[in-house]
């Protein structure tokens, strides 16, 4: 029997997402009502972090605990990971001791190799190319607020990164459109987009990309902790801040999302991220609920 992994958004069908979203809704309700729900008793999640995290670690660890199972955290500083052991060997060993594995690593090729040698499901907790769990939470959040995302327009304002590539895959599955505006030098890599994906349009001007949008979203321009190295990026991204003027171009009921962490005054103005159209705290919380539904589905 083949093992079901979640390595990129396109790994699931619309029916599978509909199921996971419905479960996430019920699991969230139980959580809010303090109703115990333990379908994963005696099950173990191992979380492999080659890059730092706050939200991903917390949501997977808390989620597995709340489902009645255990979560084990491994990183490259205090384990043998990243010291030369082939990923295939690490995957063999981990998947004989655990029921499901989450990996945050650099290249998508690494997680694909890892999954290829795993005897249990593997979830992508972020690679350089994809961040499917975050976009699943974002789609869930949009649906919670507006009922459906089908036929809607999402404006992506920023560089072509793992979030954008997952948004583009989500647009194909859920049938919505993405208006993309990236600065010069930070454009989409066509190798990371499904050939013939007709669900996005490029705009040279970020304000034009926001026009008529139902959701405006962006991401950090400079990774947290690397601000000095990334001074050149700040120059290239001049004009790409999501501010009140750009939000005025979007539909009156448009939402604002950001996967966090955020730099106020760079990719987003405080008036937007802390304003009435922002749903960033629900978006962050929903990582917990959708990932619990995902764990339940895959285990």
User: Which residues are marked as active site?
Assistant: 104, 131, 134, 219, 259, 287
The response to whether 260 counts as a known ligand-binding position is yes
Among candidate residues 220, 123, 232, 226, the one with its CA nearest the CA of residue 162: 220
* Residue among 177 and 233 whose Cβ is closer to ligand CP: 233
The pairing of beta strand 100-104 with beta strand 70-75: unpaired
Rounded distance between C-alpha atoms, residue 237 and residue 245, angstroms: 17
Binding mask 12-31 for ligand CP (x = CB under 6 A): --------------------
In the bound state with ligand CP, the residue whose beta carbon lies nearer, of 166 and 207, is 166
Residue 79 labelled as part of a binding site:
no
User: For ligand CP, which is the closer residue by CB, 103 or 177?
Assistant: 103
Interaction of residue 161 with ligand CP, rule CB under 6 A: no
- What's the rounded Cα separation, in Å, for the pair 100 and 120? 5
CB of 260 to ligand CP, least distance (A): 5
Q: Judged by CB, which is closer to ligand CP: 98, or 133?
A: 133
Q: CB-based burial of residue 10 (10 Å sphere; 0-12 exposed, 13-18 middle, 19+ buried)?
A: middle
Residue 210 labeled ligand binder: no
Q: How far is the CB of 281 from ligand CP (least distance, A)?
A: 13
104 assigned to a ligand binding site: yes
Q: Is the dihedral of CA 145, 148, 153, 158 positive or negative?
A: positive
Pick 13 or 54: Cβ nearer ligand CP = 54
How many residues line the site for ligand CP (CB under 6 A)? 8
> What tokens were used for 122?
């593997």
CA-to-CA distance for 156 and 229, rounded, in angstroms? 24
* 80 marked ligand binding residue: yes
Of residues 44-73, those binding ligand CP (CB under 6 A): 53-56
> Binders of ligand CP among 245-274, rule CB under 6 A?
259-260
Q: Report, in Å, the least distance between residue 238 CB and ligand CP.
A: 24
Which residue, 87 or 259, has its beta carbon nearer to ligand CP? 259
Is 25 one of the annotated binding-site residues? no
Among 126, 136, 247, 257, binds ligand CP (CB under 6 A): 126
What does the block give as tokens for 185?
């030098």
Q: Is 55 annotated as a binding residue?
A: yes
Smallest separation (angstroms) from ligand CP to the CB of 293: 17
Task: Report yes or no: 37 and 27 within 8 Å, Cβ to Cβ.
Answer: yes
Could you tell me the smallest distance in angstroms from the CB atom of residue 259 to ligand CP?
A: 4
134 binds ligand CP (CB under 6 A): yes
Annotated binding site for L-ornithine: 162, 219, 223-224
Annotated binding site: 53-56, 80, 104, 131-134, 162, 219, 223-224, 259-260, 287
- Which residues here bind ligand CP, judged by CB under 6 A? 53-56, 126, 134, 259-260
């Amino acid at each position: 029997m083949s093992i079901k992994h979640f390595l990129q958004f396109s790994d699931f069908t619309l029916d599978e997402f509909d199921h996971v979203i419905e479960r996430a809704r019920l699991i969230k309700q139980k959580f809010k009502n303090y109703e115990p729900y333990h379908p994963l008793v005696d099950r173990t999640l191992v979380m492999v972090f080659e890059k730092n995290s706050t939200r991903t670690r917390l949501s997977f660890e808390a989620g597995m605990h709340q489902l009645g199972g255990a979560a084990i955290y491994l990183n490259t500083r205090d384990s043998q990971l990243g010291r030369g052991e082939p990923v295939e060997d690490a995957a063999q060993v981990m998947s004989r001791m655990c029921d499901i594995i989450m990996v945050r690593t650099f290249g998508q090729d690494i997680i694909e190799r890892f999954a290829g040698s795993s005897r249990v499901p593997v979830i992508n907790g972020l690679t350089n190319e994809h961040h499917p769990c975050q976009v699943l939470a974002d789609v869930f959040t949009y649906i919670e607020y507006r009922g459906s995302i089908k036929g809607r327009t999402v404006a992506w304002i920023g560089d072509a990164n793992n979030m954008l590539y997952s948004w583009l895959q989500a647009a194909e599955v859920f049938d919505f459109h993405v208006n993309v505006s990236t600065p010069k030098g930070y454009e989409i890599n066509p190798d990371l987009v499904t050939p013939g994906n007709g669900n996005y349009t490029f705009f040279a001007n970020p304000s034009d990309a926001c026009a008529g949008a139902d959701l405006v979203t962006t991401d950090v321009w400079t990774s947290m902790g690397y601000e000095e190295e990334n001074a050149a990026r700040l120059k290239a991204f001049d004009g790409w801040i999501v501010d009140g003027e750009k939000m005025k171009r979007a539909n009156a009921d448009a939402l604002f999302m950001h996967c966090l962490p955020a730099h106020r005054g760079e990719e987003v103005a405080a008036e937007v991220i802390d304003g009435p159209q922002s749903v960033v705290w629900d978006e962050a919380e929903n990582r917990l609920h959708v990932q619990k539904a995902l764990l339940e589905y895959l285990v």
